[in-house]
Amino acid sequence: MRIAALLVALMITLGAAPACAADVTAAQGVIRAQEQAFVHDDAAAAYSYAAPAIKEIFPAPDIFMSMVQNGYAPVYRHKSFEFGETKSEGNWVSQHVHIVDANGEAWEALYTLEQQADGSYKITGCSLLKPGREV
């Protein structure tokens, strides 16, 4: 009886894993697409990945891009941008990104994304820290 319960629990857990993996893959795709939009100075594309709440604060692509250029220079221009630890819960994903900025300094970015009604993920925030510091 215990073995059967363990097998059922294992099947449920394994069955749920692909959905989480798909969510993580989708969220990472959004982050990577926005990162590439920054590389190409494409404000409209970068802005398209921002969640509605972010768009309320920054009501136009050029305003959003100026904020990123001035407040998130390591995200805007960098030497490397690599995904780290990811957490997924419900319709939220948090994604750590290891960044080396244009000057060779290491940074950690913590992105949060929320799944929208249409199933897409949009970026709800990004916290930028020097490694070893808490959010």
* pTM recorded for the entire structure: 0.83
Alpha-carbon gap, residue 78 to 107, rounded angstroms: 10
Q: Give the pLDDT of residue 131.
A: 81
Give the separation between CA 42 and CA 132, rounded to whole angstroms: 32
Write out residues in the chain with pLDDT < 50, as ranges: 1-19
